[in-house]
Amino acid sequence: MSKKLLPVTIISGFLGSGKTTLLNHILKNQVGLKTAVLVNEFGEIGIDNDLIIEGSEDMIELNNGCICCSINGELLNTVSKVLERSAMIDYLIVETTGLADPLPVAMTFAAGDLREKVRLDSIITVIDGENFDFEINNTSVAYSQILYGDILLLNKCDLVNEEKLKKVEKFINKIKKEPRILRSTNSEVGLQTIMSVGLFETDTFKFDKDKEDLEVKAKDHSSHSHDHSSHSHDHSSNSHDHSSHSHDLINNIEGFTSVSYETFEPFSLRKFQYFLDNQISQNVFRAKGILWFMESERKHIFHLSGKRFSLDDEEWTKEKSNKIVLIGKELDHQTIKKQLSSCRFSSD
């Protein structure tokens, strides 16, 4: 019977760890499988236009047989919509938000109505080798992502030395007994090592009991870590929030907030560089955006993770504008928006 069930992989991992890069890697390299990918934002994936056959507001079809579906509303509803097309799909992948505990998402698949239709294959947690210390010290979500990850993808190995990598692996071994750790650069890993591996075991969790029991179980799992155990049970109790698509997910989770800024005026490249070098708060951990500079005819895609940032350029296909989102702890929203306003080419 299990062979008839649609296998599901959940991709977890902290902000900027490389989840979307892993998704792209899977979409480009999967052979002979028609994969459905559930994401929060299409724009973040940056699918090559040559791959797209047709697209709607919430679904994109690719010429390699894959589809991408945005999670509009409840995760359960989105999965049900995809399953209606199940004759076309061999595999389902769900990318969680960077601040989500993967357990409530796993519960959506391993319990309830979906249990008759899908098989939770594994939870892959992407770990940022470069920014690991920040993640684990500042949020218990990062701890839960490791605890419940069946495969731990230690990413960005090209950016850190062997000593740091071994330190991270040692820490992981304290959290998790006999963890399956794969090292990667740019989230590149053999697909046979992460898909259809059948590692998730439903008997790990007490689905036949009520939610309170599950919360206790989750808490017990992490009780040996004094830094994080006090928060672990909080995530399970918000299962509906975690599995739905809402920008408010980011706000007020363990002190994290997001600041969004948009303007239809171009930035000055020099002023924006000054913002990055001298003004940006140390509490900003992740930022991403589409940027328009007066000095350039091209669209610039901006990513910041920890202290590292990148700017990639491509052609504009829509109206030019600046859109940027910054995520961090205890951010002064007004100050950041004022600083970004000062980056406009027209500002004094």
37-90, pLDDT tens digit by residue? 888 755 555 554 454 555 556 676 666 667 777 776 678 888 888 888 756 788
What pLDDT shows up at residue 307? 73
**Residue 22 shares a structural domain with residue 109:** yes
What pLDDT shows up at residue 225? 32
Tell me if residue 234 falls in helix, strand or coil.
Answer: helix
What pLDDT shows up at residue 342? 95
**Percent of the chain at pLDDT exceeding 70:** 72
> What is the helix (H) or strand (E) element at residue 70, kind and residue range?
strand 67-70
Contact 287, 325 (CB under 8 A): yes
Which residue's entry shows tokens 């299990």?
2
102-116, 271-285, 293-307: least confidently modelled range = 102-116
Which residues have a Cβ under 8 Å from the Cβ of 180 and sit 6 or more positions away?
150, 151, 152, 199
Q: Which phi and psi (to 5°) does residue 157 adopt?
A: -65, -20
Q: Residue 327 domain-assigned?
A: yes
If you average pLDDT over every residue of the chain, what do you get? 75
Please say if the pLDDT value at position 254 is more than 70: no
Report the domain count for the chain: 2
Which of 88, 94, 73 lies closest to 13, judged by CA?
94
Q: Residue 348 domain-assigned?
A: no
**Residue 85 shares a structural domain with residue 180:** yes
125-139, 185-199, 202-216: least confidently modelled range = 202-216
Q: How many other CB atoms are found less than 10 A from the CB of residue 224?
A: 10
**Residue 320 shares a structural domain with residue 237:** no
DSSP string, 64-125: TS-EEEE--SBHHHHHHHHHTTGGG-SEEEEEPPTT--HHHHHHHHHSGGGGGTEEEEEEEE
149 is written with which tokens? Answer: 């990850």
Q: Residue 168 domain-assigned?
A: yes
User: Rounded distance, CA 169 to CA 241, Å?
Assistant: 31
What pLDDT shows up at residue 341? 95
**Residue 185 shares a structural domain with residue 329:** no
pLDDT single digits (tens) 152-190: 999 999 999 999 999 999 989 988 888 899 999 999 988
User: Rounded distance, CA 140 to CA 255, Å?
Assistant: 11
The model's confidence at residue 291, banded by pLDDT at 50, 70 and 90, is very high
Q: Residue 226 domain-assigned?
A: yes
DSSP string, 3-17: GGSEEEEEEEE-TTS
What pLDDT shows up at residue 158? 94
Domain end marker among 195, 230, 247? 247
**Residue 243 shares a structural domain with residue 278:** no
**Residue 273 shares a structural domain with residue 140:** no
Please say if the pLDDT value at position 10 is more than 60: yes
**Residue 56 shares a structural domain with residue 166:** yes
Please say if the pLDDT value at position 195 is more than 60: yes
The model's confidence at residue 325, banded by pLDDT at 50, 70 and 90, is confident
The model's confidence at residue 138, banded by pLDDT at 50, 70 and 90, is low
Which of 264, 118, 268, 148 lies closest to 214, judged by CA?
148
Domain end marker among 196, 217, 247? 247
**Residue 140 shares a structural domain with residue 172:** yes
Q: Write the CATH number for 288.
A: 3.30.1220.10
**Residue 233 shares a structural domain with residue 265:** no
Residue range 127-148: mean pLDDT, rounded: 80
Contact 333, 260 (CB under 8 A): no
Q: How many other CB atoms are found less than 10 A from the CB of residue 106?
A: 26
Quote the domain boundaries for residue 32: 2-247
What pLDDT shows up at residue 41? 59
Residue range 261-289: mean pLDDT, rounded: 89
What pLDDT shows up at residue 80? 82
Please say if the pLDDT value at position 309 is more than 70: yes
Contact 39, 96 (CB under 8 A): no
What pLDDT shows up at residue 348? 61
Q: Residue 307 domain-assigned?
A: yes
Please say if the pLDDT value at position 223 is more than 90: no
Q: Write the CATH number for 204.
A: 3.40.50.300
**Residue 262 shares a structural domain with residue 242:** no
Q: Residue 113 domain-assigned?
A: yes
What pLDDT shows up at residue 57? 60
Contact 10, 94 (CB under 8 A): yes
**Residue 180 shares a structural domain with residue 269:** no
Q: Residue 194 domain-assigned?
A: yes
28 or 261, higher pLDDT: 261
**Residue 81 shares a structural domain with residue 17:** yes
133 is written with which tokens? Answer: 């210390």
What pLDDT shows up at residue 244? 31
Q: Residue 347 domain-assigned?
A: no
Domain end marker among 191, 224, 247? 247
What pLDDT shows up at residue 221? 36
